[in-house]
A and B are shown apart, each in its own frame.
Chain A
């Protein structure tokens, strides 16, 4: 079972240190335990572009799609047998990156 762990950033955390050493160590542990599927931090929302090609003519506009106080700062995708295990990993992740997180399961195919 895979879970998306989203890092929730806001104005107060945008430029705050993420304790990179902690995050690196945490990622290394995830990798060793075979739980890590993917990890990556995102650049600021101001760097985003929006694409809409539903009508067959691609329209590119300046992002972000949603202007909001809280936004996605990065993601982990982890492998965990159940939500409790995923929540535990997320609790460690939250401490490592010093930010609030959201945990959400990937839908069954």
Chain B
């Protein structure tokens, strides 16, 4: 990748949401904003390698996107008054660009509106705020590209037709609306943390840091919401391990093999502070707070051998009651393996086969348990399946090495 291409990629990650948000504000139309932003970036891809990167890429993109949007409105012969009539509801008159955070927050609340289905909210937020392409989003949710494209198009049409406003909800509506936003942000964080795609970096720091930044913003708005604090803590305690999680050669390093000294101490400390704050609140924790507590247990152990596994298993038990999903069961089984051995864990894992057969982590977990039990042949088959399904380059590299390290030959196995 050339320097200019790298710059374009970086600028895309940094500026996409800003450009879309400022255009949505100006033109009152998500569709126009998205299309104009996409065109502006396409122009950058075309022109920057020739004429060089402008000194202020963000401003260049916003100006270019504005021009594209005006061109489109002219093409469609929309008179200004007619256009104003169709604009999204917006409380304040347009103001000069610059109030970036609030703009993006408005964009998030619009994309996460409860009149939209959850899957639509996620797709729309990833497209409008995260700047992911339709194929990337389709891949993240295992749906066809055309179906994902339609989902986003329909969502934009609904926002326009039903007049879903471009606004941060008032205090009365905020708690309910925030919960929907948190789900979406967590999904965005995970897409960054375990990025998919053969040409994608294994960890898309811009997505994880964007999710953290936006979660911080929401925490500033709602300092007493336990789940906001829980999600922020969870993200911080996960992000703290980011650099330790991928080796120099681009291979995934599992938790038990990570260099704990390279974890980001400040992030760990902040995450622990938030978890303690929630414990002190004495309110029954929700899903994110329990997940944060699990991560706090892991990050409290200076050596993997010091991990308090019984505490981890107990917390997963609590989580199963709040969120009885097969993925939570799978993660609980991984902790159980540390406490009661791989055989016990495998029995649980195998019961999840029907629900999780298409999920790479299910096969990767089975492979690891079978390997530890000395069942090389079965482990190899499970690794093959996991490699086939894994979309993250670092994970694929790790799984491949693990598979290739298995003792060869059928004589030794089982």
Instruction: Kindly count the residue-residue contacts between A and B in the assembled complex, taking CB atoms under 8 Å apart.
Output: 29
Contact between B161 and A87, CB atoms less than 8 A apart: no
Question: B150-170 interface mask toward A, CB cutoff 8 Å, 1 = contact, 0 = none?
Answer: 000000000001111101010
CB distance from A9 to the nearest CB of B (A): 22
Contact between B89 and A81, CB atoms less than 8 A apart: yes
Q: Count the B residues whose beta carbon is within 8 Å of the partner chain — how many?
A: 13
Q: Give residues 68-109 of A contacting B (CB, 8 Å).
A: 81-84, 87, 104-105, 107-108
B86 contacts chain A at the CB level, 8 A cutoff: yes
Residue of A nearest to B159 (CB): A83
Separation of A27 and B173 alpha carbons in the complex (Å)? 23
B322 contacts chain A at the CB level, 8 A cutoff: no
B residues near A107, Cβ cutoff 8 Å = 161
B residues near A84, Cβ cutoff 8 Å = 89, 164-165, 167, 169, 173
B115 contacts chain A at the CB level, 8 A cutoff: yes
A1 contacts chain B at the CB level, 8 A cutoff: yes
Contact between B115 and A82, CB atoms less than 8 A apart: no
Contact between A83 and B165, CB atoms less than 8 A apart: yes
Residue of A nearest to B161 (CB): A105
Separation of A60 and B167 alpha carbons in the complex (Å)? 49
Contact of A108 among B115, B161, B165 (CB under 8 A): B161
Contact between A83 and B86, CB atoms less than 8 A apart: no
Contact between B86 and A82, CB atoms less than 8 A apart: no
B residues near A81, Cβ cutoff 8 Å = 89, 163
Separation of A84 and B165 alpha carbons in the complex (Å)? 7
Contact between B161 and A82, CB atoms less than 8 A apart: no
What are the 9 tightest A-B residue pairs by CB atom distance, in nearest-first order? A82-B89, A82-B165, A82-B163, A105-B162, A83-B162, A83-B164, A83-B163, A84-B165, A1-B163
Instruction: Identify 26 residue pairs between A and B in the complex whose beta-carbon atoms are under 8 Å apart, listed by A's number.
Output: A1-B163, A81-B89, A81-B163, A82-B88, A82-B89, A82-B163, A82-B164, A82-B165, A82-B167, A83-B113, A83-B115, A83-B162, A83-B163, A83-B164, A84-B89, A84-B164, A84-B167, A84-B169, A84-B173, A87-B115, A104-B162, A105-B161, A105-B162, A107-B161, A108-B86, A108-B161
Known A-B contacts: A83-B115, A84-B164. Give 6 more (CB < 8 A).
A81-B89, A83-B164, A84-B169, A105-B161, A105-B162, A108-B86
